[in-house]
Amino acid sequence: MFTPDDHRRLAAKSLEVITGNQAESGAYPACPTYEVYGYSWFRDGSFIAEAASRVGAPASATAFHDWCARAVTDRAARIEALVAAIGRGERPAEAEYLPTRYTLAGEDTGDVGWWDFQTDGYGTWLWALATHLDRHGLDPEPYRETVRLVVDYLTATWDIPCYDWWEESKEQRHGATLGSIHGGLSAAVRAGLADPTAVFRTTAAIEETVADQGMSAGHLAKWLGSDAVDASLLACLTPFGSVDPQGEVASRTVAAIERDLVEPEGGVHRYLKDVFYGGGQWPVLAGFLGWHYARTGREADARRELDWIASHATDGLLLPEQAPGVRLLAPDHLQRWIDRWGPNATPLLWSHAMYLILADELGVLA
C-alpha cells in the first residue's frame, strides 16, 4: 500500500519528468531515451499537457498548445486543399494528410518508414485545449483560426479509415478514434471556438455510425464491425463523454474491458491480440481506467489502479510504457521487440501524465 507521501514523491518526479523534458518549442517528446519516440504526438502530448495544466505547471501546458497551434497554422494551405479535395469526392494519398507526430521543432518527420496517418490526436488536442483554457480562464481568441482549421479537417476526415491509437489497422474505422474526434469537436463548441451547426452534423453522424456499426453485445467495439474491445475505448467514456459515462453502453464497455484486459491486482492490456513487447500492461491505460472509476464512484478501484502504476516505477521513480515483470499476452514476442528497439520506453511522459491526472482526480496530492 502506498502512503500519501509516496504518491507526493512520485507526483513531484512525474511533473519534473514532464517539464524537464519539454523542448524549448513547447513540444513534449514521447520518451527522451527511446530512439523512435523522440517525436511529439498531438495525442500523447495533449494528455501530458492536461496533467501539467492540472498540477501546477499551466505555463508548460500553454507552451504545448501554442506549439500545436503553430504546427497547424503552418499547414493551413495543406489543410484547406485536403478539405476541398475531399469535398469534391476525391480520396487524397495517405502522405497528403496531416501527420500524427512531428519533430520537436514542429516539422514533418519525413519518410522514416513508420506509418503516419491518424486523426484521433487532433480531436484530443481540441478537447485538451478547451479544458485548459476553461480551467485557467485564458483567452481563447488566439486559437480561433487554428481551431477552425482543425475542425474543418476533422469534419472532412472523420469517416476515413486510418491508423488507431496504437498506429495499427489502418483499414479500419476505430471506436477510440471516433470518440476522440467527437469529444474534441464537442469541446470546441463548448469553448465557443467552433460553429455549432457544422460540428453537430458531424458529431450526430459519429453517434449514428457508432450505434449502427460500432457496438457489439451492447458495448463499444474496437472498430466498426468488430466484436472485440480495446482499452483505448475507455477514453470515449472518460474524459471525452462521446457516450454517457454513467450509461448502459459505458457500463457494458467497462465490463468487457475488465473481463478481457484488466488484471485482478491492477493493470490493463491494450487488446487481446496485442504482441508489442509481448502484450504487457500499460500504466497509461491503468490511468484511464482509474480516471473513469473515479468519475463514476468507484474510488477504491481507482486507488488500486493508482497504486498499481506507482508500484511499477523504477528506483529512480521513472514510469515505463509497459510494466515489467507482469503477465504477458504473447510472451514469445517479447524478445524480438527488445532486439529491435531495446527495453521498453522509460520514462514515458504519457505514463507520468496519466499517473498525475488520476492522482489529482483522487485528491491524493493535496
* pLDDT single digits (tens) 171-212: 999 999 999 999 999 999 999 999 999 899 999 999 999 999
- Grouping H, G, I as helix, E, B as strand and the rest as coil, residue 140 is coil
pLDDT for 19 beyond 90 = yes
Catalytic residue among 108, 167, 168, 260: 167
35 C-beta neighbours (distance < 10 Å), count:
9
SS3 label, residue 115: coil
pTM (2 decimals)?
Answer: 0.97
Active-site residue flag, 171? no
Query: Span 136-154, mean pLDDT?
Result: 97
Summarize pLDDT for 221-275 with one digit per residue, the tens: 999 999 999 999 999 999 999 999 999 999 999 999 999 999 999 999 999 999 9
The answer to whether residue 164 is catalytic is yes
Provide the pairing of β-strand 215-216 with 101-102. Answer: unpaired
Question: Is 167 annotated in the active site?
Answer: yes
User: Residues 86-99: what's their mean pLDDT?
Assistant: 93
What is the percentage of the chain residues whose pLDDT exceeds 70? 99
Q: Does domain 4-362 have CATH number 3.60.15.10?
A: no
Q: Which three cell numbers stand for residue 110?
A: 519525413
Active site residue: 301, 305, 321, 360, which one? Answer: 321
Q: Catalytic residue among 152, 164, 230, 301, which? A: 164
The owner of cell 480551467 is 135
